[in-house]
Amino acid sequence: MGSRSVVRPGSGADRWFELKSQVHQKLVNSLTPEQLKDLNKDSVRGQVGTVVEKLIIDESLPMTMGEREKLTEEILDEVFGLGPLEILLKDPSISDIMVNGFDNVYVERAGRLVETNIRFKDHAHVRMIIERIVSAIGRRIDDSSPIVDARLADGSRVCAVIPPLSLIGPVMSIRRYGKRVLTTEDLIKNQTFTTGMLDFMSGCVEARLNIVISGGSGSGKTTMLNTLSRFIPEEERIVTIEDTAELNLQQGHVVRLETRPANIEGAGAITQRDLLINTLRMRPDRIIVGESRGPEALDMLQAMNTGHDGSMTTVHANTARDAFSRLETMVMMASQHVPDKVIRQQLASAINIVVHCSRLADGSRRVTGIAEVVGVENDLVEMQDLFEFERTGISPRGKVVGFFRGSGNHPNCLERLKSYGIHLPLSIFTETHEVKER
């Protein structure tokens, strides 16, 4: 070890990992597999501390008490958790964790990407953590199956890719599952939308209009879907269909369905389309598809057109109008024999409202548009804008500022809302609300 220099986290990283490996190995050698299986982090903390103390004495390491405690905690994380990621998973301010190889880890806080000083020992270390995640739910990742989607015990979503598909070694991203459900008051305070916009959207849900929520990745689509679902009456039977369970509905009568990937032999996959077809036999009052991304869009449209009013889904799209192009493409994936004109007529007949969400340059998420579908004209789906967010600039502190504006158009669906006892003041469709820096 040479001059016996002080070993500190963040410097001498190779030596730090070497120390962890030594203690880890000594711990594993002192316990049987059955003991390891039955033990938990707290039950072996003292044992790990003893091994650390002995190693410090044997190696004459001038480590501070803080460094000893950190070494002990990191070893416990290696044995019982996800290693270097554990400290990030304990931070409630982090919404996404991105591992771009063993020495490049980013997180997202408040909508902004930040590089961390978290490092893995090497590519094999990252691969070991990935395998620990996927094996816990009975899946595998290897050369024959180099991409896997998984879920942590807390509901966080994990996507991992290994070589040869990844050219920089094993990589993964973790979308955190928010432990605290944002209320409508939170979203209004965050200037995600205005009270007038919320009154209109909630009225559309209560009046059983079919709603599509569009937006880019990380724009808040799932949050918006959760928010709008709160206005579904308690007595209704809701069936949700997701690839990875993220929805958090508050009603009592909810049936949650989740897709299943193929097994090791490549068989046994259950798709969203399979679940949606069977959902129609389960007497749902409303169907909520977490995200439409493939052929299931055709079955969703047919369900919306055949008595399952008030259904909702999300779709990746750059604008509200682009959402229809995306859905049209998805329907064609299910049946190439359906003419474009018929698809557009089905879309216009099935979908009533499109709510578009955006993540802005400062990391904030807003509803940047609400539009109503009014029909088909010249073989194109016609929409009228009802609300929009108009960006006017950036504040000195880098915050996006602007205005929420009503378009002045009166929705055709107002009569339907009135039939459900929902009476909205027409003034909300002409109001302007300034978005100020908070």
Give 338 or 156, the one with higher predicted confidence.
Answer: 156
Q: What percent helix, strand, coil does the chain show, rounded to 5?
A: 35, 25, 40
The average pLDDT across 116-134 equals 90
Give 351 or 75, the one with higher predicted confidence.
Answer: 351
Give the separation between CA 196 and CA 214, rounded to whole angstroms: 20
Domains, the chain, ordered by start: 13-79 (no CATH), 85-175 (3.30.450.370), 184-435 (3.40.50.300)
pLDDT of 205 strictly over 70: yes
pLDDT digits (tens, 9 = 90+) for 132-157: 888 887 778 888 889 988 888 888 88
pLDDT digits (tens, 9 = 90+) for 163-195: 999 999 999 999 987 666 788 999 999 999 999
Give the separation between CA 202 and CA 386, rounded to whole angstroms: 15
pLDDT digits (tens, 9 = 90+) for 37-50: 555 656 666 666 67
Q: Are 129 and 174 in contact (CB under 8 A)?
A: no
Average pLDDT over the chain, rounded to whole? Answer: 84
Strand runs labelled E in 77-234: 94-100, 105-109, 112-115, 147-151, 157-161, 171-175, 211-215
Strands 171-175 vs 105-109: parallel, antiparallel or unpaired: unpaired
pLDDT digits (tens, 9 = 90+) for 253-301: 999 998 887 776 777 889 888 998 899 889 999 999 988 888 888 888 8
CB atoms within 10 A of CB 363: 17
Q: Are 226 and 247 in contact (CB under 8 A)?
A: yes
pLDDT of residue 46: 67
pLDDT of residue 69: 74
Report yes or no on whether pTM surpasses 0.85.
Answer: no
CB atoms within 10 A of CB 239: 24
